[in-house]
Amino acid sequence: MRVLVVGGAGYIGSHMCKLLAGRGHEVVVFDNLVTGHREALRWGRFVEGSLHDAAALDALFTQHRFDAVIQFAASIAVGESVREPLDYYRNNVGGTLELLTTMKRHGVRRLVFSSTAAIFGTPQYSPIDENHPHAPLSPYGHSKLMAEQVLRDAAAAGHLDAVALRYFNAAGADPEGELGEAHDPETHLIPLLLKAALGQVPPVTVFGSDYDTEDGTCVRDYIHICDLCEAHLLALSYLQDNPGFSAFNLGNGKGYSVKQVLAVVAQTIGRAVPTVMGPRRAGDPARLIASSELARSKLGWQPKMPELETIIRTAWRWHQAPGF
Ligand code: UFG
């Protein structure tokens, strides 16, 4: 297949490009390099551009006949989305709309879309399956849910076929050490802990220890980046026989508290990790755990690296010798 990876210079997108190329697919990356990394663009052809540039998108689709598109390009910081909601709706909804309009014009039907557990808001039950009500707590979550609605409506009108994948907590890195997670500023727990262990950032603040969980800290479902990318490949195949709109939750179905993550990090890397206790971060639900039964049964998805220790070991390898 010839696959367009929008946002292919980012953390998840770059791992996706390596996987696609490794499986013999032709990859074209479209990325504005605002948060992505040029150094991560080692697989496929690269076209620099913005989803807000309709002419650039049109030229891209005129030049290449794509069999499918994977849309990773988005703004992803929950806190920032509360401060700058217009940017989030513009990027995550507006940008996706422009992409879909171009796909429709050029007759490209298949899309896999990066969605998030943030569309569910505070869980009403756990683990969270696809029937769980949607009640986002932030403009970020709302923007992803709106984009899903656009996909649902466009699919119902017969314009395209789409799978939305709702990621829980993506973490870890390419086991060969070629790619990793590098956000600026970094806000995610696992890379922050590794950076703190390396003395690159101040001690990590544990956001709240008075939650209604076993040890009082928030519980999350961490999923290895490579298992996440495998699900995208399976979704592309699924679309061949299953037109319309589908959505799948992706996690390992196992929760770890912040304190548990800390302990596994310290044990895996054999170093102390400096942390301090702090107040809650606004908008953090106590517990987010996925049911991925649907992805397992419909996509045939089977995570290969479900252990938190493996997730941390691969991330640690990259953080000790980051390529960028
Ligand atoms: N945490 C800390 N200190 C920090 C950073 C995080 O205690 O410095 C805690 C958070 O409170 C949370 C856990 O570690 O309980 C994980 O936090 P992350 O920031 O790594 O991830 P989130 O769970 O907040 O969010 C991630 C993605 C979102 C996505 C969400 C869905 O970043 O895009 O998962 O589950 F929406």
Note if the bond before 127 is cis, omega within 30 degrees. yes
152-to-1, 144, 145, 175 alpha-carbon distances in Å:
24, 12, 10, 35
Task: Indicate whether 184 belongs to any domain.
Answer: no
Coil/strand/helix, residue 177: coil
The answer, yes or no, to whether any atom of ligand 1 lies below 6 A from the CB of 207, is yes
Residue whose CA is at the smallest distance from ligand 1 atom 27:
169
| Domain of residue 44, CATH code | 3.40.50.720
State ipTM: 0.95
Residue 115: burial class (beta carbons within 10 Å; 0-12, 13-18, 19+): buried
| Domain of residue 304, CATH code | 3.90.25.10
Residues 104 and 163 in one domain: yes
Boundaries of domain holding 199: 189-221+253-320
Q: Which residues are catalytic?
A: 140
Q: pLDDT truncated to tens, each residue of the chain (324 aa)? A: 999 999 999 999 999 999 999 999 999 999 999 999 999 999 999 999 999 999 999 999 999 999 999 999 999 999 899 999 999 999 999 999 999 999 999 999 999 999 999 999 999 999 999 999 999 999 999 999 999 999 999 999 999 999 999 999 999 999 999 999 998 999 999 999 999 999 999 999 999 999 999 999 999 999 999 999 999 999 999 999 999 999 999 999 999 999 999 999 999 999 999 999 999 998 899 999 999 999 999 999 999 999 999 999 999 999 999 988
Residues 231 and 314 in one domain: no
The answer, yes or no, to whether any atom of ligand 1 lies below 6 A from the CB of 183, is no
Do β-strands 219-220 and 256-257 pair in parallel, antiparallel, or remain unpaired? antiparallel
DSSP 285: -
**Rounded distance between C-alpha atoms, residue 133 and residue 271, angstroms:** 41
Residues 113 and 236 in one domain: yes
Burial 262-298 (b: 16+ CB within 10 A, else e): bebbbebbeeebebeeeeeeebbbbbbbbbbebbeee
Testing ligand 1's pocket by substitution, the residue of 189, 212, 228 carrying the most ligand atoms inside 8 A of its CB is 189
pTM, whole model, 2 decimals?
A: 0.97
CA atoms within 13 A on the CB side of 45: 11
What DSSP element (H or E) covers 288?
A: strand 287-288
Nearest atom in ligand 1 to 188's CA: 20
